[in-house]
Amino acid sequence: MTAVRISVAVATCGRPEALRICLAAFARQSRAPDQVIIVDQDPLAETREVVAKSGLPIAYIEQERKGLSASRNLALSTAEGDVLAVTDDDCFPDARWVEALIEGFGSTPVPDAVTGPVLPPPGDPPNDMCALSLRLSRETRLFSTRVIPWQVGSGANFAARVDVLRKLGGWDERLGVGTRGMAGEDIDIVDRLLATGGSIFYSGDAVMHHAWQTRERRRATRWSYGYGIGAMSGLRLGRRDAYGWRMLASYSKMHLRELLRDARRGDWTGVRERATSLSALGPSLIYGLRTARSKLAR
């Protein structure tokens, strides 16, 4: 792909200061995005002011609260570029992020999507703050077969060709923050892309930073992240895609291993967090199965 035009979309919901930091980083890009789309599901005067003062050519869209996937899909329908890159309002890109994404789409063979590292902000965390939802690998590689999707990337740092995303039907609005599925919309679209023969290039140079989070926030996400995994797996099993079992097994094994490690260290906070993630799998699996079967019945 040559002369790639890139649209960048940020979903936001009541976090104007985080959005300000995010947009300031986009204003410092070595290669500016061709379009910036902000989809706001909690419009505030402060957020509108942040957008107005950003100095960026922003398409600002207000949307009723339908969840993160609906926000991404609205951005997809609005995108004017060849590529749509998405991130969250509590993330901010490295100065070469857009440039590195474009380089990724220029690699051979040309990939359908590009992901990259999600790192904490530079420096030490403030008191009682921690990192969350990181992807630390800086090793560049191409994924062209179906693998466990969280090995490939996350929604904080994801870009794909607009035509490919539209052919896939965009993000699954039964998954993600603000829906009954709670999470998992990002790894769901990664898996669907690979399952249909697509390829994803993981660029170690396309770095996104995820803001420090409180430990209370980290604990709160343990249930929702686990729930998203179970819901996504249940949707697959409901349509007789046995790969759902493989994802459940991989997630369970990972968290059981970490739970035992934390127990040996006497880290009971870690034990509780791992146990919370695992306990979310049962009810979310049922949600995914029922949702898939109800859709098939219609």
Question: Do 224 and 249 sit in the same domain of this protein?
Answer: yes
Amino acid (one-letter) located at 103? E
Q: Distance between CA atoms of 115 and 154, rounded to whole angstroms?
A: 8
Average pLDDT, stretch 193-220? 95
CB 8 within 8 A of CB 75: no
How far is the first Cα of the chain from the last one, in angstroms, to the nearest whole number? 40
Question: Do 196 and 123 sit in the same domain of this protein?
Answer: yes
- DSSP string across 41-93: SS--HHHHHHHHHS-S-EEEEE--S--HHHHHHHHHHH--SSEEEEEETTEEE
Using alpha carbons, list the distances in angstroms from residue 293 to 192, 288, 289, 296.
18, 9, 6, 5
CB 135 within 8 A of CB 118: yes
Does 33 reside within a domain?
A: yes
Question: Do 83 and 98 sit in the same domain of this protein?
Answer: yes
For residue 107, give both structure tokens.
């690699």
Does 175 reside within a domain?
A: yes
Q: Distance between CA atoms of 197 and 112, rounded to whole angstroms?
A: 10
Q: Side-chain half-sphere of 199: how many Cα atoms within 13 Å?
A: 13
Question: Do 41 and 64 sit in the same domain of this protein?
Answer: yes
For residue 240, what is the DSSP state? Answer: T
Question: Do 224 and 159 sit in the same domain of this protein?
Answer: no
pTM of the model: 0.95
**CA nearest to 226, candidates 277, 287, 153, 284:** 277
Final residue in a domain of this structure, among 160, 192, 211 = 211
Q: Is the pLDDT of residue 298 over 80?
A: no
Q: Distance between CA atoms of 100 and 104, rounded to whole angstroms?
A: 6
Final residue in a domain of this structure, among 211, 228, 257 = 211
Mean pLDDT rounded to a whole number for the chain: 95
Question: Do 265 and 247 sit in the same domain of this protein?
Answer: yes
Question: Do 185 and 230 sit in the same domain of this protein?
Answer: no
CB 22 within 8 A of CB 97: no
Question: Do 37 and 165 sit in the same domain of this protein?
Answer: yes
pLDDT tens per residue across span 188-206: 999 999 999 999 999 999 9
Amino acid (one-letter) located at 95? A
The number of folded domains in the chain is: 2
Question: Do 124 and 225 sit in the same domain of this protein?
Answer: no
Does 89 reside within a domain?
A: yes
pLDDT of residue 297: 45
Question: Do 157 and 266 sit in the same domain of this protein?
Answer: no
pLDDT tens per residue across span 4-47: 999 999 999 999 999 999 999 999 999 999 999 999 999 999 99
Q: 206 lies in which domain range? A: 6-211
Final residue in a domain of this structure, among 189, 211, 233 = 211
**CA nearest to 10, candidates 208, 180, 199, 203:** 208
Question: Do 125 and 273 sit in the same domain of this protein?
Answer: no
Question: Do 137 and 267 sit in the same domain of this protein?
Answer: no
- Residues written for the chain: 298
CATH number of the CATH domain containing 146: 3.90.550.10
